[in-house]
Amino acid sequence: MFLLISPINNDEALESIEGGADIVDVKNPKEGSLGANFPWVIKNIREITPDNILVSATLGDVPYKPGTVSLAACGALNSGADYIKVGLYGTSNYNEALEVMENVVKTVKHENSKAIVVASGYADAHRVGAVSPWEIPKIAKDSGSDLAMLDTAVKDGKTLFDYLNIDDLEKFVDEIHSYGLKSALAGSVKKEQLKPLYDIGCDVVGVRGAACVGGDRNSGKIHRSAVAELKSLLNSFK
């Protein structure tokens, strides 16, 4: 299971890298769960990140505006991201989400066929009126995305496990794998929740809060010791 750590700037990116992150995921929590950061931040982080580590960029908790989102995807890709994450926040159903993702995939793959496109839904979609998490695997498959992900939309102390139990998450992962795609799970995931996610075959686990000093994704800062502890824990499961 790969460890994805979400820094907001160069300093945090370096801490993530030194701690052993497999994927450096550039985001901006001020703009939401999958808030987008600025192009120059993505570019700077790509420049300081070793070539063997993927750099991910979130496009934001996006609206149902396929053209706008596709343009954002192109911007993230040209800023150096290898891994493009789309938070399907403003799409209320399968058809809207599919339209957004199809156009993102077309945009990204035309520029770089090796880039990874992630369709990301929310375990707490009912709280924000977003497309159901159970639609995400099929949306990823039908759009040509590479990976399907779940996060939480509202960051109020609740975790992924407050909305879906381990059997639900295993069902989600199994469906994604049946399509030949990879899975990612995030949502204020805590250290003690890593083993259950590993056991169900999750491919990527996304973390910010647990990698921050004090465990706070907003006021805390990512530190290499916290990242290294998470990475060591994942390695112990093998």
Residue range 102-118, pLDDT digits in tens: 999 999 999 999 999 99
What pLDDT does residue 156 have? 87
Burial of 236 (0-12, 13-18, 19+ CB in 10 A): exposed
The DSSP symbol for 127 reads: G
- Asked whether the beta carbons of 37 and 16 are under 8 A apart, the reply is no
Measured CA distances, 214 to 196, 217, 226, 233 (Å): 23, 9, 10, 18
Find tokens 């204020």 and name the residue.
188
**Structure confidence at residue 218 (pLDDT):** 54
Q: Can 65 be counted among the known catalytic residues?
A: no
Closest by CA to 21, choosing from 40, 38, 1, is 1
Which residue is associated with the tokens 């790509």? 46
Q: HSE (CB half, 13 Å, CA atoms) of 232?
A: 9
Distances (CA, A) of 154 to 53, 128, 130, 136, 170: 29, 8, 12, 18, 22
Rounded to 10 deg, the angle between the 10-19 and 224-236 helix axes is 30
Question: Residue 202: its pLDDT value, please?
Answer: 98
The residues, any chain, with a CB within 8 Å of residue 163's CB and separated by 6 or more, are 123, 124, 152, 187
User: How many other β-carbons are positioned within 10 Å of the β-carbon of residue 193?
Assistant: 20
Counting as low any pLDDT under 50, the low residues of the chain are none
Q: In a 10 Å sphere around its CB, with 0-12 CB exposed, 13-18 middle and 19+ buried, how is residue 105 labelled? A: buried
pLDDT at res. 215: 53
Q: What residues form DSSP beta bridges with 3?
A: 205
pLDDT of res. 216 = 58
Asked if residues 24 and 17 have their Cβ atoms less than 8 Å apart, the reply is: yes
Q: Is 231 a catalytic residue?
A: no
Report residue 8 as tokens: 């907001």
pLDDT at res. 238: 84
Q: Bridge-partner residues for 222, per DSSP?
A: 212
pLDDT at 213: 77
User: What's the pLDDT score for residue 161?
Assistant: 96
- Of 30, 43, 65, 85, which is the active-site residue? 85
Render pLDDT for 123-158 as a digit per residue (tens, 0 to 9): 999 999 999 999 999 999 999 999 999 999 998 889
C-beta of residue 176 within 8 angstroms of C-beta of residue 146: no
**Of 236, 230, 238, 222, whose CA–CA distance to 15 is shortest?**
222
